[in-house]
Chain A
């Protein structure tokens, strides 16, 4: 199994989620994060005091899928999450040792 972590622009969440559902991804978790890559932050000013907002709001999607799903997921995300502008995000893929469904105790591919 593979764990796929995706960082995308927040407004892309619905589009990416719907597209992933269509290709058969049945579960994911989403968190609100802040971050920067080469995009960097920007300068703000409050009551005359300048401050740098280094971290830009993003959405992180975590999902664990069977190995054969990894490539379809990646190409779906690339198709739907990209705007062509700086700050589109990143995809990370790693190996997962074990996955267990708590309700039934199933493990392995049946659990994802």
Chain B
């Protein structure tokens, strides 16, 4: 008893808890005060230094004034880029809605669309209430956007002398010091990424999930689960600091979110599908699966194309800077990986399952996109293609593993597209990053380099991040779904499931003219 107490006190002495708050500038809600001469300093190879601006003020007054405009324009280019890319990612919601609805049955189309639709609205509010604050409250200034220093509160625990950032403390309801033009832009960009995660489980849980319990889930994931892990990787939290603290490469690096967005979504999708159980009739008595073909392949493929289009915003936008000319490389790596994923999935299906199944090829296309999302800024084109080829094969193998070995019913392959390939993307960065980009990332000098280019420790950081994500998200979401099921039942009744969820859950039939009812023939 005494030994336990002494041990406990000893540990407490090593851990100190603090909410760090560093000095921030005044918030700028109109945007008029953001972007000036200071944003010109050191931004190109031959840019003036701060001393230059000071010393030359007397001899070249016009130049100094112009520097102010130029600095403003630089910030403007970056903000416009960030916002436009954010709008593209928002459009991916339509892509998810169309892909999921096309790959599931007609009788549930209204409900599937309804979930993908409401996850945007609810996720938005949940994120505005506290999700953004938890994720980005302590990220500090966003240099490419010339401000956002109002995000200066991070809750940190200090263990054995090292700081572990856990969550942000500024930005609730986007109020107070966070009512700022730059911070609002960051909110928009980050929110649409969060929504991508939130919409992934609607795929694995389609065709049998009650709308009520889905709404509770949407709040929970947008307010707490996504933001916590996102803080650790992108908000300046402890996974990002693995490099500074423990010498693991540049800390965990995830450029646009293979883990933060897709792995989180895929793992949540897995937990949800496990708790929910398979659709009625999905598995025969002996456990072999029955086919349940999607009802609208053109809709699904259109959705997949919309996702690929939005992904340009997803990946290239993550520079948060139109002036960062790596965006061309990012965009091209993205498209190459998608093509490679589609091709390898096609070959796999043709070889092992007789025909090039377009639904699996479309999944392979998306898998390539998911896998390149982390490494897209750090690899060359050959690596991007290899990463995509492997993603397509992993996707096919995973779909069959999840369905046949784990006996989990995933109507659209969400677990395999986002979960498995999200993990692959993060690890692929730890292998293929070639050092040509990322100097100074997470406070570590030099470019980001992976195992094949000489840095083993980066792979270690990536592995730590993947394991953390899987353990954290799965545990929290599994417990959440189990508890939620007791309060608001997750699954619709057998009658509703057989008839179709549309009328019972969302009060509209997706295709009323295809069912015989007198109200249609007026």
Contact = CB atoms under 8 A, between A and B. Distances in A.
Nearest to B363: A47
A interface residue count range (under 10 / 10 to 19 / 20 to 34 / 35 or more): under 10
B354 A47 contact: no
Nearest to B349: A48
A47 B359 contact: yes
Interface stretch (B31-39, B172-180, B289-297): B289-297
Given A51-B290, A51-B291, A46 B400 contact: no
Contact of A50 (B291, B360, B400, B413): B291
A44 B357 CA distance: 11
A48 B360 CA distance: 9
Interface centre among A45, A47, A49 (most CB of B within 10 A): A47
B113 to A, nearest CB: 22
Most chain B CB atoms below 10 A, which of A44, A46, A51: A46
Interface string A13-54: 000000000000000000000000000000011111111000
B290 A45 contact: no
B239 interface: no
B289 A49 contact: yes
Nearest to A51: B291
B353 interface: yes
B355 interface: yes
Contacts of A48: 349, 352-353, 357, 360, 399-400, 403
B289 A45 contact: no
Contacts of A51: 290-291
A46 B354 contact: no
A46 to B, nearest CB: 4
Contacts of B288: 49
Contacts of B355: 45
A45 B291 CA distance: 8
A44 B403 CA distance: 18
A49 B353 CA distance: 9
A48 B399 CA distance: 9
A46 B354 CA distance: 11
Nearest to A46: B291
A45 B356 CA distance: 10
B359 A49 contact: no
B290 A47 contact: no
Contacts of A44: 291
A49 B400 CA distance: 9
A46 B399 contact: no
A50 B288 CA distance: 10
Nearest to B357: A47
Interface string B418-459: 000000000000000000000000000000000000000000
A28 B357 CA distance: 40
Contact of A45 (B353, B399, B400, B413): B353
A47 B360 CA distance: 6
Interface in B272-317: 288-293
Interface in B316-361: 349, 352-355, 357, 359-360
B410 to A, nearest CB: 10
Nearest to B282: A49
A45 B293 CA distance: 10
A47 B355 CA distance: 10
A44 B353 CA distance: 11
Contacts of A46: 291-293, 357, 359
Nearest to A49: B291
Interface string A40-81: 000011111111000000000000000000000000000000
B457 to A, nearest CB: 40
B393 to A, nearest CB: 14
Contacts of A45: 291, 353-355, 357
A48 B405 CA distance: 13
Interface string B171-189: 0000000000000000000
Contact of A49 (B290, B354, B413): B290
Interface string B389-421: 000000000011001000000000100000000
B307 to A, nearest CB: 19
Nearest to B411: A47
B368 to A, nearest CB: 18
A68 B399 CA distance: 62
A45 B355 CA distance: 8
Nearest to B103: A47
A50 B284 CA distance: 12
Contacts of A50: 291
A100 to B, nearest CB: 22
Interface string B460-504: 000000000000000000000000000000000000000000000
18 contacts: A45-B291, A45-B355, A46-B292, A46-B293, A46-B359, A47-B291, A47-B399, A47-B403, A47-B413, A48-B349, A48-B357, A48-B360, A48-B399, A49-B289, A49-B290, A49-B403, A50-B291, A51-B291
Interface of A: 44-51
Given A45-B354, A46-B292, A49-B403, 5 more contacts: A45-B291, A47-B413, A48-B353, A49-B290, A51-B291
**Which 4 A-B residue pairings sit nearest by Cβ, starting from the closest?**
A46-B291, A49-B291, A51-B291, A49-B289
